[in-house]
Structure 1
Amino acid sequence: MSNAIRIYSFPLSGHAHRVELFASLAGIVHEIINVKLAEGEHKQPAYLMINPDGQVPAIKDGDTVITDSNAILVYLARKYAPSYLPENPVQEAEVQKYLTMAAGELAYGPAAARLINVFNAPLDAEFAKATAVKLLAKLNTHLENKNFLVGDKPSIADVAIYSYTAHAPEGGVSLEFYPNVKRLLSNIEGLAGFKPMPVTNAGLVA
């Protein structure tokens, strides 16, 4: 697949999954190169030439290298799947708001709680769960009578929010009280090309 975009990934990374998910949903030709994080491959010179931060994901599109999962989503949408990035300036601003949420509240809430349970990360579990609850309540209120986060069709906002929200139960954070959030997740999972992220059993709650 010489013309395929290369996605440098790791199966249990929600940041990497959102890029894989979007490439699959948008029908972008790609190949996945799993970086062996447990063996420290992401800190070796060969990979640091691709991403000096030593993190996944990263993509190579010809001679272009993009790092940071949300930046990658914007790049891929703008170049290959513009329907996932609204042209309306108000809706585009809304999408940006959720990308910021994905890098902030989502990362410090559900994602952090999962890191603690799955990878024994030395983080504050109480803070992570409290942040997750606030985030899920906010999303649940916003999604009242809505099928997607922005407008009436999926965007990269939904993709950015999906992975760590869907896997919040792995961090001991239940989705039981957030029916609108669960409906959003189901709507994304029903899209053609949907690709799940592997589930772990650590701290799993309903």
Structure 2
Amino acid sequence: MSAIKLYRHPLSGHSHRVEVFLSLLGLDNDIIDVDLLKGAHKQPEFLQRNSLGQVPVIEDGDMTLADSNAILVYLASKYDPYRTWLPEDFTQAAQVQRFLSVAAGKVAFGPAAARLVNVFGASLDHQHAKNIAHALLTELNTHLADSSWLVGTTPTIADVANYAYIAHSPEGDISLAAYPHVRRWLTRFEALTGFVPMQNTAVGLTA
């Protein structure tokens, strides 16, 4: 089997979801950096891979797929023979989907958006993003008080999808000090065999 190609940006949490999951699954992969600052994602060659001009994108043989959460579902469905990362149990599978929606919603508009302001200079309402982030972190801290993982008793792609931007919340001026259960969850995720970190940026509370 040839290596899966991952087109990514090293500071993209969406890209990191796929990068870390490829590693957790032990899959051979080739990482191709896309220079977002120079507009490489808007060039015709890249737009042939994703017409929306966004990273990440994977190429697995003849198959090309964009959207980080869709890629996680694809990889879990194809390459996890034990079906732990995307459970077959319909109730747990629905809960995983719920947290994929959280990653695409409250995480994207909260910690991810706040980080975008500081890391990339995005013209977003920083305080509004921080408010969303703290509301989300409060919810997750309660949810994780009696649970090691977001869904069930083992890690799933729900954890993969939500990890990066929450872990890097301080880069968006969002402290995790008040959320001990969230911090313990992050530590558990980072202890998984095959975990690879996302590049840190010295901005916000990490400056």
Pairwise same-fold verdict (TM > 0.5): yes
The corresponding residue for 2:104 is 103
CA distance in 2, matches of 1:3, 1:101: 33
The corresponding residue for 2:33 is 34
Give, as a single letter, the amino acid of the residue that structure 1 aligns with 2:68.
S
Q: CA deviation at 1:145?
A: 2.0
The corresponding residue for 1:121 is 122
The corresponding residue for 2:151 is 150
Q: CA deviation at 1:140?
A: 0.4
Q: Is the 8 A contact 1:172 1:204 kept in 2?
A: yes
Q: Is the 8 A contact 1:174 1:205 kept in 2?
A: no
Q: CA deviation at 1:36?
A: 1.1
CA distance in 1, matches of 2:7, 2:130: 29
Runs of 4+ in 1 over 6 A off after TM superposition: none
Cα deviation digits, residues 46-94 of structure 1 (max 9, x gap): 0000011111001011111111000000000000023200111100000
Q: CA deviation at 1:158?
A: 0.2
The corresponding residue for 1:165 is 166
Give, as a single letter, the amino acid of the residue that structure 1 aligns with 2:33.
N
Q: CA deviation at 1:205?
A: 4.9
Q: CA deviation at 1:204?
A: 2.0
Q: CA deviation at 1:188?
A: 0.4
Q: CA deviation at 1:39?
A: 1.3
- Cα RMSD, aligned residues only: 1.1
CA distance in 1, matches of 2:127, 2:35: 30
CA distance in 2, matches of 1:28, 1:98: 24
**TM-score normalized by the length of structure 2:** 0.97
SS in structure 1 opposite 2:178?
coil
| Aligned residue pair count | 205
**Percent of pairs with identical residues:** 56
Alignment of 1:78-89 (within 5 A): 78-81=77-80, 82-89=83-90
CA distance in 2, matches of 1:163, 1:181: 12
Give, as a single letter, the amino acid of the residue that structure 2 aligns with 1:15.
H
The alignment status of 1:4 with 2:31, answered yes or no, reads no
Q: Is the 8 A contact 1:9 1:32 kept in 2?
A: yes
CA distance in 2, matches of 1:155, 1:31: 23
Cα deviation digits, residues 23-58 of structure 1 (max 9, x gap): 001111111111111111111110000011111001
Unpaired segments ≥5 residues, structure 1:
none
Q: CA deviation at 1:164?
A: 0.1
Q: CA deviation at 1:141?
A: 0.4
The corresponding residue for 2:64 is 65
